[in-house]
Amino acid sequence: METLQTQTRPGLSGTALKLAACITMLIDHIGASCLEAGLLVPLIASGTFSTDPAAASLLQMDRVLRYIGRLAFPIFCFLLVEGFLHTHDFKKYALRMLGFALISEGPFDWAFFSGVYWGHQNVYFTLLLGLLAMKALDTYQTPEGMPALKGILGAAACILAAALLHCDYDVLGLALILALYMTRKDKRAQCIAGAVFSLFEPVAPLAFGLVWFYSGERGGSSKLEQWAFYWFYPVHLSVLAAAVALAFPG
């Protein structure tokens, strides 16, 4: 794997970006789970949305929370590319992503669909496929350092898998990850590409305002804190799923 020399400068560390992504993701999921799945969807399903006096306020609040949350996924994609470029053990990294994808699927389904749902898979699957697509492009290159046909086909297979599995953000998510990977040598180009390839979500391009201030440093974090970032996704989804089930039974 190619190793890049990261130029450090004052700014946000990788740990700071992870915190920002986790906080905005939590805000987003409160809207998607508690407000949408717990309140708005039942109102619409019952036909009482237009007559409920609180519905308009709930919808407005949901939009605010979801717009804030749009910052999370692009930051996670950027951090995935950084993780791929600097990992010392790709196999362990990929297996960890797979493990958390499997662990997170139940909480994901219950938080957003109130039960087992096979029509949409959680974002860890998206990130795993993005990781495998980058590995394919990195492994198979021309002598000039460009992606070879095998690498392109491997990345295309990952994009197809994301579409068939209906992963969170599916094809658009993989395109964003690969755009960030292909522009990794130029920070300005990377931020521009990231903003362009995240235009499918309102507000999401603003995430690259934070990425621009990335210092190139990992930031201080213990092993426990590193694992906490991985566990944050399934744990907070489990809490939200339980909250919705208790607050809005049936």
Report the candidate in 72, 55, 94, 95 with the shortest Cα–Cα distance to residue 233.
72
Spell out, as residue ranges, where the chain has pLDDT lower than 70. Answer: 1-10, 250
Return the pLDDT at 247.
79
Report the candidate in 136, 31, 63, 146 with the shortest Cα–Cα distance to residue 94.
136
Asked if 123 and 169 count as a contact pair (C-beta separation under 8 A), the reply is yes
Cβ neighbours for 198, distance < 8 A, ≥ 6 positions apart? 73, 74, 176, 204, 205, 207, 208
Return the pLDDT at 31.
95
Return the pLDDT at 5.
43
Other CB atoms within 10 Å distance of the CB of residue 168? 18
Residues 119 and 3: their CA atoms lie apart, in Å, by 38
Residues 31 and 43: their CA atoms lie apart, in Å, by 15
